[in-house]
């Protein structure tokens, strides 16, 4: 049986149920449920849409553009919240294990994207020795175009502020309460969306196997015909 990302995330939630203070647990659950209840898929980018050019900031320096990523075929984009997000620290190593080796062998880029500024975001790449690319979506520009952003509800804001500091905007370096909902996107070589899944509940995320099937089919469809 292949490794399940959502089982790993369910284990994280179970540990919180067992160990967190009831009020802290309630704030977390209520925020995630609110995002599920108010999700509006009509606002999200859809399969078949063409994503115009964009620019991301690589955590090591330099930039990535849509044209660079899709120059030789498909590309896979994973949107996550920020370097210190516990669920993201489960999801990105999972994608490193379950997506990166096969995609690399196929010549397909895999990029994990957060609005957190590069000098803070690099922490998650170093922490897990990630070989997949990690890049910053400056000011949530791309996330906004995709329609996948959310803002902390009031209870979550107050809980964050009670821990000291300026809240998530200070953590990310963006100065705002906005984060992307976890999203996995596959683009074809023309920048068209071949697959997209948005997860309003950040403890529910896209498994690897279906993504590999989509990419494999894109590569098969673009392979030159063999004369017989």
The CATH number of residue 14's host domain is 3.40.30.10
Q: Report yes or no on 139 lying in a domain.
A: yes
Cβ proximity of 158 and 58 under 8 Å: no
Q: Report yes or no on 144 lying in a domain.
A: yes
Strand residues in the chain grouped as ranges (E): 55-58, 63-65, 75-79, 110-114, 133-136, 149-151, 178-180, 183-187, 193-198
Q: What is the CA radius of gyration of the chain?
A: 18
Q: Report yes or no on 10 lying in a domain.
A: yes
Q: Report yes or no on 177 lying in a domain.
A: yes
Q: Report yes or no on 99 lying in a domain.
A: yes
Q: Report yes or no on 88 lying in a domain.
A: yes
Residue 109: what pLDDT? Answer: 98
- 131-190 pLDDT tens trace: 999 999 999 999 999 999 999 989 899 988 988 888 999 999 999 999 999 999 999 999
pTM of the model: 0.95
- How many domains does the chain contain in total? 1
Residue range of the domain that includes 196: 5-222
Q: Report yes or no on 227 lying in a domain.
A: no
Average pLDDT over residues 60-78: 97
- 190-221 pLDDT tens trace: 999 999 999 999 999 999 999 999 999 999 99
- Bigger pLDDT: 110 vs 223: 110
Confidence of residue 225 (pLDDT cuts 50, 70, 90): low
Q: Report yes or no on 208 lying in a domain.
A: yes
Cβ proximity of 197 and 183 under 8 Å: yes
What is the distance between the alpha carbons of residues 76 and 66, in angstroms, rounded to a whole number?
A: 11
Residue 226: what pLDDT? Answer: 47
Average pLDDT over residues 105-119: 98
């Amino acid at each position: 049986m292949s490794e399940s990302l959502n089982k790993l995330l369910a284990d994280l939630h179970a540990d919180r149920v067992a160990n967190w203070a009831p009020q802290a647990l309630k704030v977390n659950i209520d925020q995630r449920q609110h995002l599920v209840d108010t999700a509006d898929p009509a606002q999200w980018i859809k399969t078949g849409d063409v994503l115009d050019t964009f620019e991301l900031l690589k955590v090591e320096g330099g930039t990535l553009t849509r044209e660079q990523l899709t120059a030789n075929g498909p590309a896979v984009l994973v949107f996550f919240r920020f370097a210190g997000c516990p669920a993201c620290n489960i999801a990105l190593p999972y994608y490193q294990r379950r997506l990166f080796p096969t995609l690399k062998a196929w010549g397909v880029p895999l990029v994990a994207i957060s609005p957190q500024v590069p000098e803070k975001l690099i922490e998650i790449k170093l922490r897990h020795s990630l070989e997949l690319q990690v890049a910053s979506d400056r000011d949530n520009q791309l996330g906004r175009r995709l329609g996948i952003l959310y803002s902390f509800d009031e209870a979550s804001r107050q809980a964050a502020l009670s821990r000291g500091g300026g809240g998530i905007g200070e953590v990310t370096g963006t100065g705002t309460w906005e984060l992307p909902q976890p999203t996995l996107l596959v683009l074809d070589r023309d920048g068209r969306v071949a697959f997209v899944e948005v997860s309003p509940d950040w403890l529910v995320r896209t498994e690897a196997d279906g993504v590999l099937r989509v990419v494999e089919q894109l590569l098969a469809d673009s392979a030159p015909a063999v004369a017989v």
